[in-house]
């Protein structure tokens, strides 16, 4: 049972920690549960926004770390072609996917009986774009500052950036999204 014990020893703490962080984000959602149920597209889109931001966190962290290790990025990171390409790829992908999600959530919501309302859809689009932009910029900023600091110390930035950006994505998306729902709905 060597493999079993190794997996439990190495994974248990981190899986508990990330799951609890996810549920802390869920606490924010629970406080506005009536609005989520009233506006079905919001309920449908929430797991997808959370999923997307978490995935971008992992992509940003691992790509930035690879750039550091391969010497494609350094102190003058803002002039690095690779970094600019990463930034553009993430921003363009995030924008297109967010628009896709909002339209799909509204179509699905309508199929489940929610009366389509263009104004509601535009508000959801605004909320989704604001949440995604804010968190993507925050994660890029964390990657640059944190990544460069950790790399300078001779450690692997992946070990720091992936958990930090995942937590930022999981917690941040639900908290920001919830705040915007309170403000806009």
Partner 1 sequence: MISENFKEVFTAEIISVTGALVAGSLLVFQVDKLLLLPGLFILIPGFLEMRGSITGSLAARLGEKLHIGLERSERHKLIIENILAAFTLALVVAVVLGIFAYIVSYFLFGVTLLSLIYIPILGSVISNLIAVPLTIFATFWFYKHKIDPDNVMGPFATTTGDIIGVASLLLAIIIVI
Q: Which residues of the chain form contacts with partner 1 (CB under 8 A)?
A: 1-4, 7-8, 11-12, 14-16, 18-23, 25-27, 29-31, 33-34, 36-37, 40, 43-48, 50-52, 55-56, 58-59, 85-86, 89-90, 92-93, 96-97, 100-101, 104-105, 108-109, 112, 170, 174
How many CB atoms are closer than 10 A to CB 46?
21
Question: Minimum Å distance from CB 35 to partner 1?
Answer: 11
Rounded Cα distance between 45 and 121, Å, is: 11
Question: Minimum Å distance from CB 74 to partner 1?
Answer: 20
Question: Minimum Å distance from CB 154 to partner 1?
Answer: 25
Rounded Cα distance between 118 and 11, Å, is: 45
Q: Which is nearer to partner 1, 19 or 152 (CB)?
A: 19
Q: Which is nearer to partner 1, 47 or 74 (CB)?
A: 47
CA dihedral 148, 153, 157, 160 (to 10 degrees): -110
Q: Which is nearer to partner 1, 86 or 150 (CB)?
A: 86
Q: Which is nearer to partner 1, 151 or 177 (CB)?
A: 177
Q: Which is nearer to partner 1, 16 or 126 (CB)?
A: 16
Q: Which residue has the tokens 């999204």?
A: 177
Question: Minimum Å distance from CB 49 to partner 1?
Answer: 8
Rounded Cα distance between 184 and 127, Å, is: 8
Which two tokens mark 105? 């959530």
Q: Which residue has the tokens 């908290």?
A: 175
Residues 6 or more apart whose CB falls under 8 angstroms from that of 106 comprise 41, 116, 120, 121, 124
Rounded Cα distance between 141 and 32, Å, is: 30
Question: Minimum Å distance from CB 183 to partner 1?
Answer: 19
């Amino acid at each position: 049972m060597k493999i079993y014990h190794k997996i439990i020893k190495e994974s248990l703490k981190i899986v508990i920690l990330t799951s609890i962080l996810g549920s802390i984000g869920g606490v924010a959602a629970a406080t506005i549960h009536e609005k989520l149920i009233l506006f079905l597209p919001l309920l449908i889109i929430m797991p997808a926004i959370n999923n997307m931001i978490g995935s971008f966190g992992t992509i940003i962290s691992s790509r930035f770390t690879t750039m550091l290790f391969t010497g494609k990025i350094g102190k003058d990171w803002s002039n690095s072609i690779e970094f600019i390409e990463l930034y553009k790829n993430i921003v363009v992908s995030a924008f297109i996917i967010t628009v896709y999600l909002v339209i799909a959530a509204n179509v699905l919501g309508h199929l489940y009986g929610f009366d389509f309302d263009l104004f509601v859809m535009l508000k959801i689009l605004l909320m989704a774009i604001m949440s995604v932009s804010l968190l993507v910029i925050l994660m890029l900023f964390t990657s640059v500052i944190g990544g460069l600091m950790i790399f300078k110390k001779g450690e692997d930035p992946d070990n720091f950036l992936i958990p930090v950006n995942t937590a930022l994505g999981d917690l941040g998306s639900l908290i920001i999204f919830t705040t915007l729902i309170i403000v806009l709905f």
